[in-house]
Structure formats: structure tokens, C-alpha cells
Copies of this chain bind each other. A is one copy, B any other.
Amino acid sequence: MMTAPALTLGQLAERLGATLRGAENKRITGLATLHEAGPEQLSFLANPQYRRFLATTQAGAVLLTAKDAEGYAGDALLVADPYLAYARISHLFDPKPQAVAGQVHPTAVIAADALLDPTASVGPHAVIESGARIGAGVTIGAQCFIGARTVIGDGGWLAPRVTLYHDVTIGQRVSIQSGAVIGGEGFGFANERGVWQKIAQIGGVTIGDDVEIGSNTTIDRGALADTVIGNGVKLDNQIMIAHNVQVGDHTAMAGCVGISGSAKIGKHCMLAGGVGLVGHIEICDGVFVTGMTMVTRSITEPGAYSSGTAMQTAGEWKKSAARFRQLDDMARRLQTLEKRLAAVTSAGDASSDA
């Protein structure tokens, strides 16, 4: 690891607007969980189930709520939301190499009419095509490809080997991890007597501000109008967003989610890992979909949604799965039984009456 940065507890308290309880000059060189932290590391208590580690932690200091701090004797930074405070402070200890503003590697191939802000940096073997515009403070990683007329807003960060096709518009402070492909040609074909005829994908992609895009995630360009990703959207790795999808602000998707063409997803939604959406449906704001659910119809009410079955041992599962195929038959037999039992009972009543 690189030489860690060092900050004092006092400096950290000031950064966070936290109440310092302990040695102002204590040196902090990193972050760690409660049970792994050493005397130069800051830790935090966010999940109540880890409270038991407070008694034995070796951490130099802990981010705590005032309430949780009551039972803790060590140095602490008191904050309203320790997890959020950890999120804020984490960037101070990130060993990620920082590009030098304005540095353009001589092996980068940049079109004469591309517009680079003087504070943007470009890594080795990157390619920037005609008419692209790169904003202030943008980092273009090694081996990235930026297509013609594509725009990257101020403060963008592209890991090595990101591909942006032509006519993609990216907002401010957007981070994109390696292997992501934005603006690839969507899956559009017309069937002519069994043979698929390709439809040119002439739309673009519009991505808002403060978006995060994970490794090997793909977002296709629109067929006619643009594919649209809202502000503050967070996309994990290996997500597939098809042409003309619209994703509302501050929606988050975990790894391996697949969204079919022209689906429209609301704001503040959460799609867990492996969720799939069929095309041309609409999900309202505030929907949570659990892992690997297949969403086959529009959702109009906020709330949590699921499909699938729960895991069993393979032996037990085989029995359940076999019965699943008989379910309609079982339901009909159940109905028949109910009718017959009703008949028996009334016949029984009749006979006792007799």
C-alpha cells in the first residue's frame, strides 16, 4: 500500500463538524471496522449488531452517535449519522491514484477539434474523437475511448478502459468504472420472413449529474430518442440497460440487473442484484425489488416486490418443483373436495334430521 495520509482527530472533527471527545492531536492514518482497527485507525458504529465490538475495539477513535458514545470510554467523534460521516471521511484515505490536472499523455490520440478543458487529464492510449467536449477537472483513464461529439461534464472520473460511443452526454461529477460501455447500439431488428433486419440506433444517451456506473455495465443508446439516466443514479457492475430506458433520479441498482427496452423506472427506487425488467413497463417512484425478481408488469404503488422461490436442499426442492407443475390440478381437486364435503355435510345434516 502507499504511504497512508495522516490527519489528527481534531482535523477530522473539524471536517465533519463532529464533537471531539478525546486527544485532539491523535494521529489517524486509516479507516477500519471495529474489530480490525488498530490504534492509528478510525472506526465507526453504524449497525447496532456490531455494538458488542465497542468493548474490545483497538481503534484509535470511533465515529459514534452521542447515545452510543455513552457506553464507550475511548476517543470518539460524535456525529448524528456515523455511517454518513464515515462515507464523507473515507475519501481522505482513498489510495486511488489522482491524475495531475491538465496532464495529457503523449500516447493519447485526440482529434484536433475535440475540446478539452485545460484542467482535464487524459491517460495513456486513450482516444478522443472529433467534436468531443471534456469539462473542467475531468479524468480520462488510460485506454478510454470517447466517441465523436460526446460530452463529459465537469469533475467526471473515468477509470481506465471505459468506452463512450458518439453522441453521449454525461453530466457533472460522474464516475465510470472499467469496462463500462455507454452508447452501444441497442437490440433493434425488424423481422422479414424469419430474417432479422437491423434498425440503426440513431438516438444517444443522456446521463445526469452525480451518477456512478460500475465495471462492465452497458447502457445502450436510444433507437430514436435518447436513453436517459437521471441525477444521482447509482449503477453497480454488469448491469444491462437497453435502449430508451429511463431511470429516475437517485435510483440505485445492484449488480447484474437487466432492464429491457423502453422501460421507465421512477425516482428513489432500489433494484437488488439480478433483477430483470421486461420492456415497455413503468415502475413508479419508491419501489424496492428484491434480488433476482422478474418484473413482468408495471408497478403503480410504492413498496417491496418479489418473485421466485426460496432456497431448499436440492432433494426437497425437486419435490416442490414437481408439485408446482401440478398446482393447477391440485387447486381444482381442492375445489372439488370442498364441494363434495359440503354435499356430504348437508346430506349428513339431512340424515340426522331424518
Contact of A83 among B94, B190, B234, B317 (CB under 8 A): B190
A189 on the interface (CB 8 Å rule)? yes
Inside 8 A of A156's CB, which chain B residues have their CB? Answer: none
Inter-chain contact A212/B198, CB cutoff 8 Å: yes
In the complex, A326→B332 CA distance in Å?
12
Check if A11 is an interface residue, CB within 8 A of chain B: no
Answer whether residue A23 sits at the interface, using C-beta atoms and an 8 A cutoff.
no
Interchain nearest-CB distance for A225 vs B (Å): 6
User: A195 to chain B: which residues have CB within 8 Å?
Assistant: 232, 250
Select A276's contact among B175, B240, B250, B292, beta carbons within 8 Å.
B292
* Distance between Cα atoms of A56 and B324 in the complex (Å): 44
Beta-carbon contact of A255 and B238 below 8 Å: no
Question: In the bound complex, what is the Cα–Cα distance between A307 and B306 (angstroms)?
Answer: 14
Distance in Å from the Cβ of A294 to the closest Cβ of chain B?
A: 5
Which of A13-21, A64-72, A112-120, A122-130 touches B? Answer: A122-130
Which residue of B94, B268, B297, B325 is within 8 Å of A200 (Cβ)? B94
A189 pairs with B252, CB closer than 8 A: yes
On chain B, the residues within 8 Å of A200 by CB distance are 90-91, 93-94, 96
* Smallest CB separation, A99 vs chain B (Å): 11
With A160-B163, A161-B161 in contact, do A179 and B31 touch (Cβ < 8 Å)? no
A323–B224 alpha-carbon span in the complex (Å): 40
Let me know if A227 is at the binding interface, CB within 8 A.
Answer: no
Interface string of A294-325 (1 = CB under 8 A from B): 11110000011111111111111111111111
Q: Give the complex CA separation of A297 and B2 in angstroms.
A: 37
Q: A87-B190, A274-B294, A305-B314 are in contact. Are A196 and B232 (CB under 8 A)?
A: yes
Residue A278 lies at the interface, judged by CB distance under 8 Å to chain B: yes
Contact of A256 among B256, B319, B352 (CB under 8 A): B256
**Bound: A319/B326 CA distance, A:** 9
Residue pair A199, B90 in contact (C-beta under 8 Å): yes
Q: Which residue of B lies closest to A235 (CB)?
A: B187
The interface residues of chain B lying within 8 Å CB-to-CB of A187 are 214, 234, 236-237, 254-255
A88 to B188, CA, bound (A): 12
Q: B316 and A234: CB pair below 8 A?
A: no
Is A24 among interface residues, defined by CB-CB distance under 8 A?
A: no
Provide the residues of chain B in CB contact with A142, threshold 8 Å: 109, 127, 145
Q: A178 near B: Cβ within 8 Å?
A: yes
Q: A32-B224, A127-B143 are in contact. Are A309 and B307 (CB under 8 A)?
A: yes
Q: Chain B residue with minimal CB distance to A43?
A: B224
Q: Tell me whether B337 and A331 are in contact (CB under 8 A).
A: no
A236's closest neighbor in chain B, by CB?
A: B187
* Residue from B31, B215, B234, B340 within 8 A of A220 (CB atoms): B215
Within 8 A of B (CB), among A87-103: 87-88, 90-91, 93-97
- Nearest 3 interchain pairs by C-beta: A304-B314, A184-B215, A90-B200
What are 30 contact pairs spanning A and B, CB under 8 A? A81-B192, A90-B202, A91-B198, A97-B129, A97-B148, A127-B142, A141-B145, A143-B143, A178-B181, A181-B216, A184-B215, A215-B220, A216-B216, A218-B237, A237-B242, A255-B258, A256-B256, A273-B278, A305-B312, A305-B314, A306-B314, A307-B311, A307-B317, A324-B324, A330-B334, A333-B334, A333-B338, A340-B341, A347-B348, A348-B348
